[in-house]
Chain A
């Protein structure tokens, strides 16, 4: 089996008529890594993948695979294999024929094709299922057959377009682990598309977060989650409380922002260093899990306290969520890990003070936010 190669997109623009689906994308994907494109529906993820696999010509810019410019090279000549969102298995062929199709194309004799298909069935933990028809398999099994079929083509880059989205939650989580394991076993470059941030965070070495055709941030999961590069990334990846306001002071990598719930102190995101000045409109993001309730009724002015009233509580097993209302009606959510401790004797209507560490709050220039679903 061949090993993976890197993929580079350089100033890539993709237009459909007047509509620009991808604008000026530049990404470097290292060989053998698991790279995800993450973004909401319609942001251009599939379009990028189709451009890498050769079904879509870029309007401008360069796609390089293994250092080679792919301009003018068709999908059947590229070292990539694409796994479609709906898998696109061939329903009239048996499972093994599906898997061996790429070999059939190469003119490999039947006995050898069958042998290779059986090996791959072994790899995807479906031994002896080669003679079935595709429709006799379960959703997760089909999924794995699609992976095997793509691997049989001996690609150097495997492209996956939301391959897990049709599966139910349990199976999806199982397949995440499985895909990741297969990737590490075969050592190929995986380019994975998803609009599920949990999926992207758990599987990827690196993630590109996209919005409306623009790549807003590239980084590993921790960077994306803890140090978002834009208001969109902060609001799209994971849950976040957002507070809009005006920058009062900037000092030592931290900003004080005057918001409806008072002055909040927060660390300025790496991408926004130098971009925030007093007077700018800004946003402070604080994750629900970064709040604690302090008993004092009101601890104003410290820059890391918010007075709020408990509006509702929600128990979710391993964690429970408290919904609060800050000054000016700001909705705030905090999450606590359930350790079986007696819950704070909180009750709806009780006034509390929330505290957070300014290091765990992020200040960013105001900008477009992800739609709340």
Chain B
């Protein structure tokens, strides 16, 4: 089909008004909201930080200095490498992986239960009870966690009343609050892809496996999980990307000693007003996360296109 014919067919099936709206809307979305900001960020990251007067001047040339800074730190740095930033970066990725795995372990049984065990109004109630907390703002939810995990918070009070502990546990310093908050923040993004994948599995397959003597773990390992692979991949991807890129939860729930890499990016932008370095750091995080996701997806044999599903 020629281009002209394709266009004509597109207009014929959607009507001229709708066709125009779709073309313009999609172009705006892709160009202005997706491509342009990314290009600007990349461009920023490869330029030096200059006073406004010097921008566009002879000093404004492309450089990899911002990326080098991430690895080496300041030129006079006696350690030879940027200990703080690299450590935080590394710790953030590991923590995000941990949060993702933790989230999966928590959500898989719930999703399975909702999809294959619960029935009727009980299932709907369960889904609703998962969604309702998300009607509250993310930052308020983080503060709620801070209160729950605080020195005189619910958990410490209960543990003390029960006589389990004498002195309050500092959940904030131990990062327990942070992990719990991050885990909780993205539960829905894990549960729903899992749920919709598992939901479409024919119940007879589970029963067939059981009929052939299979224990529960093998049914999940051999039948349910392979079937739900796309859902698992996309749920884990979303949780991993979002926890690695989270800012509010680490700000509010993070212990005094534990920086999240996003906080360093944030500092770059808004405390040092070094947008160029901030942009470089943001791109380092983005590219690393994408590399990890693609690598893992390839490892489990999925296709990159499945991530969005």
| Cβ contacts B270-299/A at 8 Å (1 or 0 each) | 000000000000000000000000000000
* Complexed CA–CA distance, A149 and B212 (Å): 9
A86: chain B residues within 8 A (beta carbon): 202, 204
Task: Assess whether A105 is in contact with B214, with CB atoms less than 8 Å apart.
Answer: yes
B155: chain A residues within 8 A (beta carbon): none
Q: In chain B, what residue has the closest Cβ to A84?
A: B204
Interface flag for B211 (CB, 8 Å)? yes
Task: Assess whether B213 is in contact with A106, with CB atoms less than 8 Å apart.
Answer: yes
B197 CB → nearest A CB, Å:
13
Interface flag for B43 (CB, 8 Å)? no
B204: chain A residues within 8 A (beta carbon): 84-86, 88
* Complexed CA–CA distance, A92 and B218 (Å): 15
Contact for B211 among A81, A89, A90, A92, CB less than 8 A: A81
* Complexed CA–CA distance, A86 and B227 (Å): 17
* Complexed CA–CA distance, A76 and B208 (Å): 9
Task: Assess whether B207 is in contact with A153, with CB atoms less than 8 Å apart.
Answer: no
* Complexed CA–CA distance, A86 and B212 (Å): 16
**Do A102 and B223 contact each other (CB < 8 Å), given the known contacts A55-B207, A86-B204?**
no
Query: How many residues does chain B have at the interface if contact means C-beta atoms less than 8 Å apart?
Result: 17
Task: Assess whether B210 is in contact with A75, with CB atoms less than 8 Å apart.
Answer: yes
* Complexed CA–CA distance, A86 and B223 (Å): 16
Contact for B215 among A75, A76, A93, A153, CB less than 8 A: A76
A80: chain B residues within 8 A (beta carbon): 211
Task: Assess whether B208 is in contact with A82, with CB atoms less than 8 Å apart.
Answer: yes
Contact for A84 among B207, B218, B222, CB less than 8 A: B207
**Do A88 and B212 contact each other (CB < 8 Å), given the known contacts A55-B207, A105-B218?**
no
**Do A153 and B212 contact each other (CB < 8 Å), given the known contacts A84-B204, A84-B207?**
yes
Interface flag for B209 (CB, 8 Å)? yes
Task: Assess whether A76 is in contact with B205, with CB atoms less than 8 Å apart.
Answer: no
Task: Assess whether A102 is in contact with B202, with CB atoms less than 8 Å apart.
Answer: no
**Do A77 and B213 contact each other (CB < 8 Å), given the known contacts A88-B202, A90-B223?**
yes
Task: Assess whether A76 is in contact with B211, with CB atoms less than 8 Å apart.
Answer: yes
Task: Assess whether A105 is in contact with B212, with CB atoms less than 8 Å apart.
Answer: yes
**Do A53 and B205 contact each other (CB < 8 Å), given the known contacts A90-B223, A92-B227?**
no
Interface flag for A101 (CB, 8 Å)? yes
| Cβ contacts B82-111/A at 8 Å (1 or 0 each) | 000000000000000000000000000000
Interface flag for B226 (CB, 8 Å)? yes
Task: Assess whether A101 is in contact with B209, with CB atoms less than 8 Å apart.
Answer: yes
Task: Assess whether A75 is in contact with B207, with CB atoms less than 8 Å apart.
Answer: yes
* Complexed CA–CA distance, A104 and B219 (Å): 12
Ordered by A's residue number, 27 sampled pairs between the chains whose C-beta atoms are within 8 Å are: A54-B211, A55-B211, A74-B210, A75-B211, A76-B210, A76-B211, A76-B213, A76-B214, A80-B211, A81-B211, A82-B208, A84-B204, A88-B204, A88-B205, A88-B207, A90-B208, A90-B222, A90-B223, A92-B227, A93-B222, A101-B212, A102-B212, A105-B213, A149-B212, A150-B212, A153-B211, A153-B213
| Apart from A53-B211, A76-B211, A101-B222: 16 A-B pairs, beta carbons within 8 A | A75-B207, A75-B210, A76-B213, A81-B211, A82-B207, A82-B208, A82-B211, A84-B207, A88-B202, A88-B204, A88-B205, A102-B212, A102-B213, A150-B212, A153-B212, A153-B213
The 10 closest A-B pairs by CB, nearest first: A88-B204, A102-B212, A88-B208, A76-B213, A84-B204, A105-B214, A105-B213, A92-B226, A88-B205, A153-B212
